């Protein structure tokens, strides 16, 4: 498809030294930790933002913090751009490389270093998957709360890069609320430690700055995260509605009433049909919109919370209420929701938007989203974290039809602008990446962006770290 988003022009001096760079990097890494053959580089050309791809110069797969530092020191010395990579599941193109870049993949750094149940923390290498942490402490009655639907594959380093969220973040917060410390390598190979096991740290909150910085401030090699005690019980309940607007205003009223369930997820009819066909989760097929509301706690606590939620849902004309009756039913309900993107991929190509809106705007933005996408002659399926107002319209299109693809991209941009205009923002959890980079001036003033770039420059004065992402190419300081 024709590309509408530009990448930075590759640095010719770097391309001219390709062979030498590869030979030098091979000397810095153990055998088997550098990929430079075209066939081996192919899987690193793109991430889950599949419409764009670039072949990197090489891929380094270090095994230790010291090796990450050695590669970064070398790259900064010779002005070689670097793209950090976890599992490459970014939906905004955050891990897509460029032709003059060395990808530094953290997949070989996948050890759990310390589990401290007394202090309720886990320290892990950056390549450990999100789900691995909960699996490692599950038998002891703990879990790691942020749960992106990609949690089987995505890494804690990538989660920090994007400040990732998930269905259960409504109650427990996103990555930044569950991250206590990192070990990180700066652009020139310097290793720094931010935060730690104890709460809060004196001085500036650099940990907060690093979380969500999309691999531009350094490479995280280790992270210390908060562990949470599992609740006594948890119950997902399905609420079916005759319209998306009714479901949307029900969500706003639940949160407005002060009740905070652990999760409120939304699906419209196309999403219900796609997910039910894949997971056979027992979703009602005769409604236009579905909420999955999960409450947790003791049985009386869950009953009391549900009573309040059901009363609000009735005021919004709920058509179906179905409580899960067993652990198996509950697991199926979540399987359907968490497989939504993969299940959608079975029926069509899609791009996934990630705008966030104030809950009072949810119904309006849902209706306008449908109108915008229909205006481009396309279809949309909505499945998202409604309690957070974090919307994920999946715009369905044909990736092999360039006009279709251009229409999908244009519709996506209109939707994200709609979210900003409704008082929300361009991204709730997937990051800016390359996808939303050129919309940043719709969200921020030039002065706002200049200040963010100044903070970035304090960490990476030569702009070698993931340079094509986050900030519009125009208005950057001269390289
Ligand atoms: C099917 C599917 C479902 C998804 N569901 C969710 C969801 O529910 N919630 C959600 O938030 N996201 C979701 N995502 C998006 C994606 O999984 C997250 O953004 C995830 O955190 C990316 O992790 P990763 O390991 O794949 O990182 P990558 O995609 O490899 O990288 C992501 C970003 O982090 C940077 N980075 C990676 N590792 C490091 C490191 N060690 N140090 C510094 N920077 C680093 C990269 O440069 C890049 O900018 C989903 C994606 C898919 C494909």
Domain boundaries, the chain: 112-229, 234-341, 348-421
**401: which 2 tokens?**
């039809």
Instruction: Give, for ligand 1, the residue of 161, 335, 456 to mutate: max count of ligand atoms closer than 8 Å to Cβ.
Output: 161
User: What is the structure's pLDDT at 265?
Assistant: 96
Same CATH fold, 348-421 and 234-341?
yes
Pocket of ligand 1 (CB under 6 A): 47-48, 83-91, 94-95, 106, 126, 148-150, 154-155, 157-159, 161-162, 164-166, 214-215, 219-220, 341-342, 429-430, 466
User: What is the structure's pLDDT at 2?
Assistant: 65
pLDDT over 70 (residue 69):
yes
Q: How much of the chain, in percent, has pLDDT values that exceed 70?
A: 99
Q: What is the mean pLDDT of the chain?
A: 96
pTM: 0.96
CATH of domain 112-229: 3.30.465.10
Q: In the predicted model, what is the mean pLDDT of residues 189-195?
A: 97
CA-nearest residue for atom 23, ligand 1, is 158
**461: which 2 tokens?**
């004065």
What distance in Å separates the CA atoms of residue 22 and residue 114, rounded to the nearest whole number?
35
Q: What does DSSP say about strands 112-116 and 121-125: parallel, antiparallel, or unpaired?
A: antiparallel
Q: In the predicted model, what is the mean pLDDT of residues 362-374?
A: 95
User: What is the structure's pLDDT at 3?
Assistant: 79
Q: How much of the chain, in percent, has pLDDT values that exceed 90?
A: 95
Q: In the predicted model, what is the mean pLDDT of residues 303-307?
A: 96
Dihedral of alpha carbons 197, 155, 432, 244, sign: negative
User: What is the structure's pLDDT at 4?
Assistant: 84
The three-point CA angle 225-336-235 to 5° equals 65
Pinpoint the alpha helices (H) of 4-129: 12-16, 18-28, 38-41, 65-77
User: What is the structure's pLDDT at 384?
Assistant: 94
Per-residue pLDDT tens digits for 238-279: 999 999 999 999 999 999 999 999 999 999 999 999 999 999
What distance in Å separates the CA atoms of residue 329 and residue 380, rounded to the nearest whole number?
28
Cβ atoms of 418 and 356 closer than 8 Å: no
User: What is the structure's pLDDT at 113?
Assistant: 98
Assigned architecture for domain 348-421 = 2-Layer Sandwich (3.30)
User: What is the structure's pLDDT at 326?
Assistant: 92
Split at pLDDT 50, 70, 90, the class of 479 is low
CA-nearest residue for atom 15, ligand 1, is 90
Instruction: Give, for ligand 1, the residue of 62, 157, 217 to mutate: max count of ligand atoms closer than 8 Å to Cβ.
Output: 157
CATH of domain 234-341: 3.30.70.2190
Pinpoint the alpha helices (H) of 241-392: 244-256, 269-279, 299-315, 327-338, 340-347, 362-375
Q: In the predicted model, what is the mean pLDDT of residues 58-64?
A: 98
Q: In the predicted model, what is the mean pLDDT of residues 36-59?
A: 96
pLDDT over 80 (residue 414):
yes
Distance from the CA of 363 to the center of ligand 1, in angstroms? 28
């Amino acid at each position: 498809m024709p590309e509408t988003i530009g990448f930075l022009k590759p640095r010719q001096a770097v391309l001219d030294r390709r062979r030498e760079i590869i030979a030098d990097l091979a000397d810095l890494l153990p055998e088997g930790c550098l990929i430079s053959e075209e066939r081996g580089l192919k899987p690193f050309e793109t991430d889950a933002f599949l419409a764009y791809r670039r072949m990197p110069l090489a891929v380094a797969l270090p095994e230790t913090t010291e090796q990450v530092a050695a590669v970064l020191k070398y790259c900064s010395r010779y002005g070689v751009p670097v793209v950090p990579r976890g599992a490459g599941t970014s939906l905004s193109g955050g891990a897509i490389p460029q032709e003059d870049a060395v990808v530094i993949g953290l997949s070989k750094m996948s050890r759990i270093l310390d589990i401290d149940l007394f202090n309720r923390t886990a320290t892990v290498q950056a390549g450990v998957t999100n789900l691995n942490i909960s699996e490692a402490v599950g038998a002891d009655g703990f879990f790691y709360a942020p749960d992106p639907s990609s949690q089987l594959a995505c890494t804690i380093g990538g989660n920090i890069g994007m400040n990732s969220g998930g269905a259960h973040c409504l109650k427990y917060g996103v990555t930044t609320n569950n991250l206590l410390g990192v070990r990180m390598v700066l652009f020139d190979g310097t290793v720094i430690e931010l935060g730690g096991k104890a709460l809060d740290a004196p001085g500036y909150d650099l940990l907060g700055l690093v979380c969500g910085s999309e691999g531009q401030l350094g490479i995280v090699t280790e992270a210390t995260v908060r562990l949470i005690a599992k609740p006594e019980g948890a119950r997902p309940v399905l609420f079916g509605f005759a319209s998306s607007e009714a479901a949307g205003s029900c969500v706003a009223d639940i949160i407005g009433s002060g009740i905070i369930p652990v999760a409120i997820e939304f699906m419209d009819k196309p999403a219900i049909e796609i997910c039910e066909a894949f997971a056979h989760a027992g979703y009602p097929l005769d409604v236009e919109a579905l909420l999955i509301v999960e409450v947790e706690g003791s049985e009386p606590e869950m009953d009391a919370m549900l009573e309040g939620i059901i009363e609000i849902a009735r005021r919004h004309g709920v058509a179906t209420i179905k409580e899960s009756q067993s652990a198996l039913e509950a697991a199926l309900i979540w399987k359907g929701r968490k497989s939504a993107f993969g299940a959608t991929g079975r029926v069509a190509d899609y791009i996934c938007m990630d705008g966030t809106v104030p809950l009072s705007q949810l119904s309006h933005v849902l209706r306008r989203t449908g109108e915008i996408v229909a205006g481009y002659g396309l279809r949309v399926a909505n499945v998202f974290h409604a309690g957070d107002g974090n919307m994920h319209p999946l715009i369905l299109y044909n990736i092999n039809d360039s006009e279709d693809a251009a229409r999908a991209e244009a519709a996506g941009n209109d939707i994200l602008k709609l979210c900003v205009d409704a008082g929300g923002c361009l991204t709730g959890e997937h990051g800016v990446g390359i996808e939303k980079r050129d919309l940043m001036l719709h969200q921020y003033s030039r002065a706002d962006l200049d200040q963010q770039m100044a903070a970035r420059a304090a960490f990476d004065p030569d702009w070698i770290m993931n340079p094509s992402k986050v900030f519009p190419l125009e208005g950057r300081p001269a390289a």
